[in-house]
Amino acid sequence: MIAGVVGGGTMGAGIAHLLLAGGHDVVLAEAGADRAEAARLAVTRSLAKAAERGKLTGTPDALLAGLTVVEDLADLPSAAELVVEAVPEDADLKRRVLTQVASVCPTAVLASNTSSLSISALADGLPGERLIGMHFFNPVPVQELVELVHHDGVGPDVVVRVRAWAEALGKTVIEVRDSPGFATSRLGVAVGMEAIRMLEEGVASAEDIDTGMRLGYGWPMGPLKLTDLVGLDVRLAIAKHLAAELGPRFEPPALLRDKVDRGELGRKTGRGFFAW
């Protein structure tokens, strides 16, 4: 299949990697030459890392032959069957992108990788029967889950096709009704926020809270390190959205707001709950 990916950040680059490794041709759209170049580099690095670990069938070079990076959404292929949108968590931005993709790719399934925004709200003004939430997890080539998020207007054939694509890419699918934070972000953020409140209250150190969940509950990494990896700004935005939709139990802790104000956003800035 010919697939499009919009946005070449951590998630978009990972999704492009996954689709290439699955034998698809991928057109990845990023805004401007510098970002397009960075996106190509991110996909190249990710494929190289998978190859080093013996997780790739075929060489990175052979798979990269299937990748085209474009600097304008208008250059997405009109024959694309699937376009995955992975731009930042901003509803207006996502709606603008999806509207343009819907007209450039008239028959494509429009899949949003949003981790919390309402799919029904994004569907407003779009050919909603083609829109579905297709939520991947970081690192995309490694994490087994895809969360499919339905809104009332989605075409039943779209659900069937997206599930089949995801399963053929080796993923396990869960289906979730469109609701704030879906199934995964709602629980992930709840635990992450509680861990931050426990740190504020001096219950235990960041290291010990994380070790508790790693060794006691079998998490691959603790909730604070995971927040550092996801980005404190990303988690804060999701928590604010969930607080607005679900009530004060999702109100972000002061420590999280303070760290974001200070620019301590986690791994990407060198400091979050841990020094990187």
Q: Kindly list the residues in this chain that would bind ligand CAA in the complex (CB under 6 A).
A: 46, 49-50, 53, 55, 115, 137-139, 141-143, 185, 188, 220-221, 226, 230
Yes or no: say if 87 and 6 are a contact pair by the CB < 8 Å rule.
yes
Q: CB under 8 Å, gap of 24 or more: what pairs does 58-62 form? A: 58/21
Please, what is the minimum distance in Å from the beta carbon of residue 239 to ligand CAA? Answer: 12
Please, what is the minimum distance in Å from the beta carbon of residue 202 to ligand CAA? Answer: 26
86 vs 154 by CB, closer to ligand CAA: 86
161 vs 267 by CB, closer to ligand CAA: 267
Please, what is the minimum distance in Å from the beta carbon of residue 251 to ligand CAA? Answer: 19
68 vs 184 by CB, closer to ligand CAA: 184
Please, what is the minimum distance in Å from the beta carbon of residue 46 to ligand CAA? Answer: 5
139: cis peptide before it, omega within 30°?
yes
Yes or no: say if 136 and 15 are a contact pair by the CB < 8 Å rule.
yes
How far is 3 from 82, CA to CA, in rounded Å? Answer: 5
Strands 131-135 and 145-150: antiparallel
Closest CA to 65 of 40, 85, 46: 40
Please, what is the minimum distance in Å from the beta carbon of residue 83 to ligand CAA? Answer: 19
97 vs 134 by CB, closer to ligand CAA: 134
30 vs 147 by CB, closer to ligand CAA: 147
* CA dihedral for 22, 23, 24, 27, sign (positive or negative): positive
Residue closest to ligand CAA when measured from CB atoms: 115
